[in-house]
Chain A
Amino acid sequence: MAEPMLVVNNLKKYFKTPGGMLHAVDDISFTLEQGKTLGLVGESGCGKSTTGRVLLRLLDSTGGTMRFEGQDITNIQGAALRKLRRKMQIIFQDPFSSIDPRKTVSQTIREPITTNNIITGKAEVENRVLELMEMVGLTSRLTNTYPHELDGGRRQRIGIARAMAMEPRFIVCDEPVSALDVSIQAQILNLLKDLQRSNGLTYIFITHDLAVVHNFSDEIAVMYLGQIVEKSPTEELFKNPMHPYTKALLSAIPIPEYGHKKERIILKGEITSPISPKNECRFQSRCEHAFDKCRSECPPLVEITPGHLVACYLVK
């Protein structure tokens, strides 16, 4: 079998802080097949966005390797990196800060095309811009408007069009809908899904919202303090969550149904500091099942049932 599109091995990203090394991403590994979506789920500070930025080489990794379409991309630079970025793109969370406020809609979408000489010829480029705008559901009337005149949903569409202009094969979606209202959220999610279908895109979908990834991903990796604590096909994860953190996360989501009663796991305390973590399970301080071993060793991610990996000593 050919190698998967993306292979990540033991990826690490540490940041130097006055208090010590911040382990933002600490030894994570996963693979992603062409055309699939991996949901990267976790709460703020768990390292999910850092992972996305390291993958796109917006940040340099501290350790580990990344292979994309058979090519080692861990340390590539310069022209090779620019070439890689034709294939890898990102859609950002904040539709307000991810678009240059001084550029019109068409200027923003045109920039990747002209910078990379994807298409040449003035008229051809203009046509392509209009085509991209139509692709993401922006009327051509908006070509000369500025971002501040547009709402979050439409700005997010501009960001998507800018990414699509590169004709990428792989996109990191970094919380693309969490800043949007629900009715607009669904519009953008559907748009992303349609683009995936029509262009054969591969996604990493970063979010804190399990309900969103449930609909979107083929596989989900749950992150906690820089590590993947559970990874499984989507349906399996929702039916049979194994890690205590995943269980708590799932039970914490308020369900919009009347009289929905479920036993809720209320975690005590909050995420502990990712600065210079000890060699222990990072969840143990909040875990009611923690025992001695959890405090003396960090549990490895092991396959419990086919495709379902969990990092917890309780799960056998």
Chain B
Amino acid sequence: MSEKVLSIENLVVHYELEAETVHAVNGISLSIGKEETLGLVGETGAGKTTAALSIMRLIQSPPGAIKSGAVVLNGRDVTGLPIRRMEAIRGKEVAMIFQDPMTSLDPVFTVGDQIAESIALHEKLSKADAMKRAEEILELVGIPRSRALEYPHQFSGGMKQRVVIAIALSCNPSLLIADEPTTALDVTIQAQVLELMKELKNKYQTAMLMITHDLGVVSEICDNVAVMYAGRIVEVGSAKDIFLHTAHPYTEGLFNSLPNINARVESLKPIPGLMPNPAELPPGCAFAPRCSYAGERCHTSKPVPRELESGHIVECLAYDDPSFQIVRRWGNG
């Protein structure tokens, strides 16, 4: 198998609050190879962002704590590294883009300064050289050099997100974590930013973890997809596996609840109910209370990962029955 940039093994992250323990991430494993893009899909509260922050070791602690598991980045486990070492790795080996471009930039420094700062921090460059690099990078994300001297408030939302991307890529990290990078943007701007990310990813051969709730964005940019629900990865596979051979009932439900731009339907088919409270997870499969296929066993015992085809893994007890199949309502499946 090819070398992995990132592999997470059995990661468990809890938030230990006074009144309750929030089981945010409950044993997830995933890996990303060189130049590969993995989409981490799920709804609010599924644990996507917690998982990403754990990779960066940015979980606020307390109350957050990595209880067990390993996060192997370029061959070494970062979960136990001293925070000093971790600071050197952040930005250099792994960079992160957040959802809200408005708050990720410091309003009192010029855009050029902010990019140069990140470069100067990780690469031994003089101030002038770092500024020069910063201008080059700005140009790369489609912003004229001359605007390096402007302040963030002079930029629109889409341009700010480009600047954030420019900062993230400034040190040529081997892994880029993008947490809903286009969610706050308008569709036409989202298209621009996605196009840019695709371009840069190819140019720099960066591996990417794309966190999103939007299956459209996933189909646009991801090679592999992991679907997360209540802190577990319930289905993982290539984009083709997930889109064409959907296996988990939750993934099916996600597809079914999307309004289809190509076909008008009388009424949508939502997933009934709500995601369970991560502080009070049910004893069995976390999706069972909302699942139309759930049998008695689903409510009492936890499903284990099962490989359907090479690389396509699903966590669902229904597949104990070899003839089990789910029904996608639309799409090209």
Residues of chain A touching chain B, judged by Cβ–Cβ distance below 8 Å, are 43-44, 151-154, 181-187, 189-190, 193-194, 208-212, 214-216, 234-235, 238, 248-260, 264, 266-267, 270-271
Contacts and interface: CB of A to CB of B under 8 A. Distances in A.
Interface string B272-313: 101000000000000000000000000000000000000000
Contacts of A183: 43, 253-254, 257, 270-271
A185 to B, nearest CB: 7
A175 to B, nearest CB: 13
A186 B216 contact: no
B103 interface: no
A235 B263 CA distance: 9
Given A266-B191, A270-B189, A253 B239 contact: no
A186 B156 contact: no
A193 B270 CA distance: 13
A255 B261 contact: yes
Contacts of A43: 186-189
16 contacts: A43-B187, A151-B274, A154-B274, A186-B256, A190-B270, A208-B186, A209-B187, A214-B264, A215-B260, A215-B265, A234-B264, A252-B191, A255-B261, A256-B218, A258-B240, A259-B219
A210 B264 CA distance: 12
The B contact surface, by secondary structure, is helix
B100 to A, nearest CB: 14
Contact of B187 (A153, A238, A253, A260): A253
Nearest to B194: A254
B200 interface: no
Most buried by A among B195, B239, B265, B267: B267
B123 interface: no
A251 B156 CA distance: 22
Given A182-B215, A186-B268, A258-B332, 4 more contacts: A43-B188, A190-B270, A214-B260, A249-B187
Interface of B: 43-44, 156, 158-159, 186-192, 194-195, 213-220, 239-240, 242-244, 253-262, 264-265, 267-272, 274, 331-332
A254 B260 CA distance: 11
Nearest to B238: A258
Nearest to B191: A252
Contacts of A256: 214-216, 218-219, 243, 255, 258, 331
A260 B270 contact: no
Nearest to B212: A254
Given A43-B186, A208-B186, A254-B219, A193 B257 contact: no
Contacts of A249: 187-188
A47 to B, nearest CB: 14
Contacts of B192: 266-267
B254 A182 contact: yes
Contact of A254 (B44, B220, B239, B244): B220
B260 A211 contact: yes
A248 B186 CA distance: 12
A208 B242 CA distance: 27
Nearest to B241: A258
A257 B331 contact: yes
A270 B159 contact: yes
A258 B219 contact: yes
A251 B192 CA distance: 12
- Residue from A189, A193, A209, A270 whose CB has the most chain B CB atoms within 10 Å: A270
